[in-house]
Amino acid sequence: MKVVILGAGVIGTASAYFLAKAGHEVTVIERQPAPALETSYANAGEVSPGYSAPWAGPGVPLKAIKWLMMKHSPLAISPTFDLNTWRWVMQMLMNCTSARYEVNKGRMLRMAEYSRDVLQQLRADTGIHYDERMQGTLQLFRNQAQLDAAEADIAILKRYDVPYEKLDKAGCLQVEPALANVQEKFVGALRLPGDETGDCFKFTQNLAKLAEGLGAQFRYGVSIERLVKEGDQITSVMTSAGEFKADSYVLALGSYSPIMLRELGIRIPVYPIKGYSITVPITDASRAPESTVMDETYKVAITRLGDRIRVGGTAEITGYNLELRRDRRDTLEFSVTDLFPGGGDVAKAEFWTGLRPMTPDGTPVIGPTPYRNLFLNTGHGTLGWTMACGSGQFIADIVSGKRPAISTEGLYMDRYGSVNRPIIISRELA
């Protein structure tokens, strides 16, 4: 069938690749001049199923208050009277219970683990490269309270058979030797050996070429104006380059998905949470990280990408504002120079910001809508890179009328925007 995909970030491009691989005639519409030039451009670089967890969890409201009082705070909130912002915040607070955290983390792990497996198969099939490394994630704890609190996550990791290692200082130095220079600044870590790293921008650009090799067409520099509906189906997409018609449509517009869906009467709980990164040229490889180190205190990920260090983090609730704030850069520079002094030249770093499409419970919104030929692949938050390949294969199966390889529970939405109640889109999937 003919399929139009809206958006060429890592999620849209992965959807295009797997739909084209399934034999469909695919067209991707993207407003930028190339793929992965917005949120997928300079994210933290983690493919981290083991670290997949919702931001909403027990104790988070109290932590948020403490974070806001820190000099290098992981959280920033700009005062706003926008009703959608406060509705989303309230929904997130309602998920800050132990019971909801466990359910939501389980759903995220299911998709993230599957996605890692699909990525590994894609690498084997195509030989795609993107400064990839397979050396795990080190969640670094600066104090004993953080190390003790990790037991709750460890219990869930055990339940879902996710490999992990709880490390003391000596164990940390075995996997990240450069930390020997700052041994007094941490007490231990949780290592997730199944995690990987890589440049999401390079990956998406190369995957788009592979999709084109399978017949997919990418229409760059084309702005999407609206979806045209008739009854219970979408009939076309109106754009700056005219009208596009297809049998099915996949919406993968990240944080901008709710805006496009609003005119169709569909509400999804996706909100833009602003994140920042700096990309630092390495000056001394022996002082740089080997893989990803997550600085738990400041919620900053420090990742080795070839001859660069990607430092990503912070969460800013400020709507669709893309202003680059100097204080956010200061936090990223502090974390990387504090843990890896002399590893890179922060004065020459590229400073970037992007909008993460977050849901209140952390679970993405993937699957059908009340319109029988419109499908969603959005709401991945900080885990778009982690979940991209699995989400692309998952949506390709759904659009093709095939049963996905993993459970659909908790991923579908209904006409009320719920991500908790699955719906049946065909008897074959029942």
Annotated binding site for FAD: 3-17
Residue 72 and residue 332 in contact, taking contact as beta carbons nearer than 8 Å: no
Place of tokens 């991500």: 419
Which residues line the annotated binding site?
Answer: 3-17
Rounded CA-CA distance 77/58 in Å is 20
Tokens standing for 259? Answer: 């805006």
Please count the residues of the chain. Answer: 430
Other Cβ atoms closer than 10 A to 132:
18
Among 329, 321, 310, CA closest to 354 = 321
Partners of 355 in the β-ladder: 274
End-to-end CA distance of the chain: 22
Other Cβ atoms closer than 10 A to 363:
26
Among 12, 124, 21, CA closest to 397 = 21
Tokens standing for 156? Answer: 């869930």
Pairing of strands 292-295, 137-141: parallel
Residue 268 and residue 34 in contact, taking contact as beta carbons nearer than 8 Å: no
Phi, psi at residue 329, to the nearest 5°? -65, -40
Tokens standing for 425? Answer: 């889109």
DSSP track, 238-258: EETTEEE--SEEEE--GGGHH
User: Could you give the C-alpha distances from 31 to 258, 264, 322, in angstroms and in order?
Assistant: 17, 21, 17
